[in-house]
Amino acid sequence: MTRSWRYLLPLTAVPVLALLAYGFRVNPRDIPSPLLGRPAAAFVLTAYDGTSMDLAALRGKVVVLNFWASWCYPACYEEAPVLERGWRAYRDRGVVVLGVDIQDKDEAGRKFIGDFGLTFANGPDPAGKVSVDYGVYGVPETFFIDRGGSIRVKHVSAVTDQVFRETVERLLAEPVPAR
Amino acid sequence: MMRASAPGVGNPGAGGRRRLLSRQPAVLGLVPVLAAATLLLGALPATAQGGPAPSEQQVYEVASELRCVVCQNLSVADSPSEMAGQMRAIVRERLASGQTPAQVRQYFVGRYGDWILLAPPRRGFTLLVWLAPLVAVLVGLVVVALLVRRWTRRRPKARPAIDAVMSERIRQELEREP
Amino acid sequence: MIPEVGTGALLVALILAVYGAAAAAVGGRRGRPALVESAQHAALGVFALLTAAVLLLVYAFLRFDFSVRYVATNTNLGTPFYYRITALWGALEGSIVLWAWMLSIYTLLVIVRHRTSARQLYPWVLTVMLSVVAFFLVVMTVPAPVFARLTPVPADGRGLNPLLEDSGMITHPVALYLGFTGFTVPFAFAVAALVTGRVGDFWITTTRRWTIVAWYFLSLGLLIGGWWSYHVLGWGGYWAWDPVENAAFMPWLTGTALLHSVMIQERRRMLRLWNIALVMLTFSLTLFGTFLTRSGVIASVHAFTQGSIGVFFLTFLSLVVLVALALIAWRWDALGAQGELDSVVSRESAFLLNNVLLVAATFTVFFGTVFPLLSEAVRGVKVSVGAPFFNQVNVPLFLSLIFLMGVGPLIAWRRASLENLRRNFLGPVVIGVAAAALFRLLGVGSILAVTTLALTVFVVATIGVDLVRATRARRRLGERALPALGHLLLRHNRRYGGFVIHLAILVVAVGVTGSQAWSVHTETTLKRGEATELAGYRIRFDGLRESQESNHGKVTGTFTVVGGHGAGAVLEPAKKFYPQEQSPIAYVDYRLGLVDDLYLVLGDFASDGSHATVKFQVNRMVSWIWIGGLVLTLGTVLAVLPERRKAA
């Protein structure tokens, strides 16, 4: 190697080091969902209060589908009041909030609902089929489904009042699709 | 290094080479026979090893290609977590209903993205990672080949002439070294 | 009080380390032995202060001093005594302390051993070692302060991660870190060689034993890690190609390459540049390992935490890599090869091939580990690179390496004539092929298993050929067989130690092959009194019982082996419920055997104990992996024995 060329040797390491530095900017646990813009998978669950939760029947309404668990602390505990407030504020405007309790025990789930005074439909997903159908990999995750039945937003981690309000308003403003 | 004490003590000397030569045909002949035998035996069905029922084995195989989403780096087949158990049940159900393993994999990819597969697909950008080992070995071999060529050319051409008999004895002794 | 005293000790140690590194460098540059001696004393001071810090921490643990945040996070009032001591390295901050402490011990040993025997290189070796210690001391005081105070002082601590409450916890990090930190010594010598321009063979022959010892501890750490994973994590496996596992495996691969290429440099004075690069690479990979574990850059089950600590490690790693490359560039001309190669068919070539394969494997593992990051950076798409990939691509490389294990030690240096090849390899090749046929005949279905086993037989046969021939040569001198063998092993302990180490690797390889090919498993729900069968073992579920341990609740299932092999054995897998953990931890119960391991994991169960789900595995040949570790220890001990100078 001629004299000057070899001092470029250290530069060979730079791309690798830069790649590792890039790693600081990404969160390895943050998986983008391929379901955005696609039709939400249909399901029928039985809520804790015995009523039926049928997504297909809710076509035409904006649906906020929230996956949670009683052992998911503190995030699910933070967003439960947010969802309840959102439900009460928007239920008359064609918005439905559904909660799905995954990998949990019934008693713990019911206790959670009772503690937070949740009035929107909440049911367990016993075999985990619905959660896998929605590509859920952790809790909490919330899906905002538009009137046409397509998933528009996936929110990972606790939902805030602002996120709820802005997303729901945006979806409500869209025209009702022809049947 | 060990050396035989002196040439000619307890060693076959020049005659040993001839003895080896005469043994050769038989020994050499054994190799193709054994190789053929191995190949032929390969045609025999291997005895069953035992284990889970065939469909369970299929479930296990498909599940071992899927990444457990909650435990990081374990497969759905291996993970003891509840979610993995639920995913295994879904795999079992779909296989039982007649779907192919590829279809079951596609179902999960459709919901989680390529990330859910523990081995990246062998096409497109991810083909790079599959090629990496081949490229690494090839590059290594090429570099070594070039170096070896350079180093063997550097050998000094002039060598002192050695008597043929002495040369033979030296060679034999060197080869008797462990 | 303890937090303040500890922090103070670490700060003083940091100052001493920085001073020592600078003093040694200046002393080396200007030929001032007084400065170098001063640096020595500083190193002693660093060791003393770090030891004091370690003892202080252990004391805080034993006395439940929850004013130290590290103690409060990693133990609670219920943590058993011995885990309170090992909790020292149970989390991030403490692991840094352990690393630095080991480095200071190694520095001390280097001082004692090489103060007079390596006069020219010594000051720079000291500089490098103290600089590395200084870095870890910086980490210990700035981003990850181990003596951080917790106010208000809680009544009880959080507790140790339950997965760490195991015998593996006591040994795995210690062995692993002894390996990692051990590689700092050859690195320091390599840097010293480059800086002083003495790039001949002295630096590498001096550090040969250090390299073997570090390599051994790294191997041991990896094996113990596998054992820990096997008997604690509940999936019945011992290696998952997790990024952090890979990060420990890569320096092992390059370290193995180094152990072999050193022999070429010693005998033929070639590959000097390559060996320096390999040492630098190995050390950089150990830093990369700690970076991965602590930065959260790549998701891993091992990852401790994120925060700014990753930035510190990446900065140091970058510094090390760039300085190393710059030094190599500077001394490039002096590192040219001196010797020549006579023939492609020779031991030199076999070693070169060995290095190519090992470095290719390292590159593969590295590329696979960082590929998710690359994919996201380039395409914004997340992908996973896991066990199926690594298993598939590495198998051909490892099989080739096993083949080379048989060829290398016997093929002649310089040029192997046809006669030499025939004499040494015809027999073993024939035996290997015959073994393959035999295994096929015995019903071994997997081609991979047949190939691996046949190659193993081939290598064992080559070792046998060598031993027989060498013993026979000694016997001609009138010695009887067994003493001849003994003298042979001791007189050529490096060679035969190497053979034993090769055998150890083969034993591990056989264990890995067998466990992958022949293990069976099932998952089933049993009612009380009901039994299930697998591979000739029949186990019956006999009931559940609840208990309360010092820091967790426990539900234990009782399973009895009835009829068939191992009848009468009782296995008790359990689920442990720790208050600080969200989900229960599975406690595996197992019966180890030479060929069969019985392995039970308790799944869901009914609260009245009427039925339980159990994962039942019969894992085959896994014990061979641990036995391989024992053989490895024997081989390493043999290999590092001091050379005998007496005539045979």
Whether the pLDDT of residue B84 is over 90: the answer is no
List the one residue out of C536, C580, C538, C579 whose CA is nearest residue C559: C538
Instruction: Read off the pLDDT band of B130 (50, 70, 90).
Output: very high
**What's the burial of A139, exposed, middle or buried (CB within 10 Å: 0-12/13-18/19+)?**
buried
Q: Which ranges in C308-445 belong to alpha helices (H)?
A: 309-330, 347-379, 387-407, 418-441
**Best mutation target, A2, A11, A20, to test chain C (most C CBs within 10 A):** A20
Task: Give the C-alpha separation, B79 to C235, whole Å.
Answer: 6
Given an 8 Å threshold on Cβ–Cβ distance, is B152 in contact with C444?
no
Partner residue facing A133 (CB), from B83, B89, B111: B111
B-proximal residues of C, 377-406, CB under 8 Å: 378-379, 381-389, 392-394, 397
Residues in chain A within 8 Å Cβ distance of C317: 17, 20
Q: What is the pTM of this model?
A: 0.88
Q: Report yes or no: B88 at the A interface, CB cutoff 8 Å.
A: no
How high is the pLDDT of residue B161? Answer: 62
CA distance B75 to chain A (A): 14
At C27-67, the pLDDT tens digits run 998 988 899 999 999 999 999 999 999 999 999 999 888 88
Cα distances from C321 to residues A16, C418, C451, in angstroms, run: 11, 44, 39
Using an 8 Å Cβ cutoff, are B139 and C357 in contact? no
Using an 8 Å Cβ cutoff, are A88 and A120 in contact? no
How high is the pLDDT of residue B162? Answer: 65
Given an 8 Å threshold on Cβ–Cβ distance, is B112 in contact with A103?
no
Task: Give the C-alpha separation, A83 to A74, whole Å.
Answer: 15
Query: In terms of CA atoms, which chain C residue is nearest residue B116?
Result: C384
Query: In terms of CA atoms, which chain B residue is nearest residue C424?
Result: B175
Task: Give the C-alpha separation, C559 to C543, whole Å.
Answer: 8
In chain B, where are the structural domains located? 2-119, 125-176
Whether the pLDDT of residue B23 is over 80: the answer is no
Q: Which residue has the tokens 């019945």?
A: C236
Which residues are registered as beta bridge partners of C127? none
List the one residue out of C283, C102, C255 whose CA is nearest residue C189: C283
Partner residue facing A103 (CB), from B83, B90, B113: B83
DSSP H or E segment with residue A98: strand A95-102
Handedness of CA B110, B114, B119, B122 (dihedral sign): positive
Using an 8 Å Cβ cutoff, are C583 and C220 in contact? no
Residues in chain A within 8 Å Cβ distance of C332: 1, 6
Q: Which two tokens stand for residue A24?
A: 């600081």
| 3-class DSSP state of A69 | coil
Whether the pLDDT of residue B1 is over 50: the answer is no
Q: Report yes or no: B152 at the C interface, CB cutoff 8 Å.
A: yes
Partner residue facing C359 (CB), from B49, B82, B140: B140
Given an 8 Å threshold on Cβ–Cβ distance, is A127 in contact with B87?
no
CATH homologous superfamily of domain B2-119? Cytochrome C biogenesis protein (1.10.8.640)
Q: CA Rg, chain C, in Å?
A: 27
Given an 8 Å threshold on Cβ–Cβ distance, is A128 in contact with B113?
no
What torsion, rounded to 10 degrees, do the Cα atoms C632, C637, C640, C641 define? -150
How high is the pLDDT of residue B156? Answer: 56
Given an 8 Å threshold on Cβ–Cβ distance, is C326 in contact with A13?
no
Q: Report yes or no: C311 at the B interface, CB cutoff 8 Å.
A: no
**Best mutation target, C253, C273, C440, to test chain B (most B CBs within 10 A):** C440
DSSP H or E segment with residue C221: helix C208-232
Partners of chain B (3+ Cβ pairs below 8 A) = A, C
Given an 8 Å threshold on Cβ–Cβ distance, is A6 in contact with C326?
no
DSSP letter string over C82-93?
A: HHHHHGGGSSHH
Q: Which residue has the tokens 């800086």?
A: C195
* Interface size between A and B, measured as CB pairs under 8 A: 44
C-proximal residues of B, 77-106, CB under 8 Å: 78-82, 85
Q: Report yes or no: B110 at the A interface, CB cutoff 8 Å.
A: yes
Whether the pLDDT of residue B128 is over 60: the answer is yes
Task: Give the C-alpha separation, C582 to A20, whole Å.
Answer: 32
Given an 8 Å threshold on Cβ–Cβ distance, is B69 in contact with A137?
yes
Query: In terms of CA atoms, which chain B residue is nearest residue A138?
Result: B70
Residues in chain A within 8 Å Cβ distance of B117: none
Task: Give the C-alpha separation, C276 to A43, whole Å.
Answer: 63
Q: Is pLDDT larger for residue A42 or for residue C607?
A: A42
How high is the pLDDT of residue B171? Answer: 80
List the one residue out of C449, C431, C429 whose CA is nearest residue C439: C449
Partner residue facing A132 (CB), from B109, B111, B115: B111
Residues in chain A within 8 Å Cβ distance of B110: 34-35
Q: For the beta carbon of residue B15, count every other beta carbon within 10 angstroms.
A: 9
**What's the burial of C425, exposed, middle or buried (CB within 10 Å: 0-12/13-18/19+)?**
buried
List the one residue out of C486, C434, C437 whose CA is nearest residue C460: C434
**Best mutation target, A3, A4, A11, A24, to test chain C (most C CBs within 10 A):** A24
Instruction: Read off the pLDDT band of B50 (50, 70, 90).
Output: very low
Inter-axis angle of helices C309-330 and A14-22, nearest 10: 180
Whether the pLDDT of residue B18 is over 70: the answer is no
Partner residue facing B137 (CB), from C356, C371, C412: C356
How high is the pLDDT of residue C364? Answer: 95
* Interface size between B and C, measured as CB pairs under 8 A: 213
**Best mutation target, A2, A4, A6, to test chain C (most C CBs within 10 A):** A6
Whether the pLDDT of residue B68 is over 70: the answer is yes
CA distance B80 to chain A (A): 13
Which class does domain A30-173 fall in?
A: alpha beta
Task: Give the C-alpha separation, C15 to C43, whole Å.
Answer: 11
Given an 8 Å threshold on Cβ–Cβ distance, is A10 in contact with C297?
no
CA distance B87 to chain A (A): 7
Q: For the beta carbon of residue C419, count every other beta carbon within 10 angstroms.
A: 15
Q: For the beta carbon of residue B82, count every other beta carbon within 10 angstroms.
A: 16
Residues in chain A within 8 Å Cβ distance of C311: 24
Residue C557's φ and ψ, nearest 5 degrees, are: -100, 140
Average pLDDT of chain A, as a whole number: 88
Cα distances from C302 to residues B73, C86, C98, C242, C362, in angstroms, run: 10, 17, 17, 8, 20
Cα distances from B100 to residues A133, B96, B107, in angstroms, run: 18, 9, 11
**Best mutation target, C322, C335, C371, C607, to test chain A (most A CBs within 10 A):** C322
Q: For the beta carbon of residue C78, count every other beta carbon within 10 angstroms.
A: 15
* Interface size between A and C, measured as CB pairs under 8 A: 62
- The ipTM estimated for the assembled molecules is 0.85
Which residues are registered as beta bridge partners of C149? C68
Cα distances from C34 to residues B124, C16, C26, C39, C131, in angstroms, run: 62, 16, 11, 9, 19
| Residues of chain C falling short of pLDDT 50 | 304, 647-648
Query: In terms of CA atoms, which chain B residue is nearest residue A139?
Result: B70
Q: In what order do the strands lie in the sheet with C589-591?
A: C520-527, C611-620, C596-605, C589-591
Using an 8 Å Cβ cutoff, are B80 and C615 in contact? yes
Residues in chain B within 8 Å Cβ distance of A138: 69-70
Residues in chain B within 8 Å Cβ distance of A33: 112-113
Residues in chain C within 8 Å Cβ distance of A71: 582-583
Return the percentage of chain B with pLDDT > 90, whole number: 25
Given an 8 Å threshold on Cβ–Cβ distance, is B129 in contact with C583?
no
Given an 8 Å threshold on Cβ–Cβ distance, is C470 in contact with B178?
yes
Residues in chain C within 8 Å Cβ distance of A31: 382
How high is the pLDDT of residue B7? Answer: 38
Partners of chain A (3+ Cβ pairs below 8 A) = B, C
Cis peptide before B45 (omega within 30 of 0): no
Whether the pLDDT of residue B167 is over 90: the answer is no
Q: Report yes or no: A127 at the C interface, CB cutoff 8 Å.
A: no
Q: Report yes or no: B80 at the A interface, CB cutoff 8 Å.
A: no
Q: For the beta carbon of residue C561, count every other beta carbon within 10 angstroms.
A: 19
Query: In terms of CA atoms, which chain C residue is nearest residue B177?
Result: C470
Given an 8 Å threshold on Cβ–Cβ distance, is A132 in contact with B90?
yes
| 3-class DSSP state of C257 | helix
What is the number of residues in chain C? 648
Q: What is the DSSP letter of A55?
A: S
How high is the pLDDT of residue C143? Answer: 87
Residues in chain A within 8 Å Cβ distance of C298: 23, 28
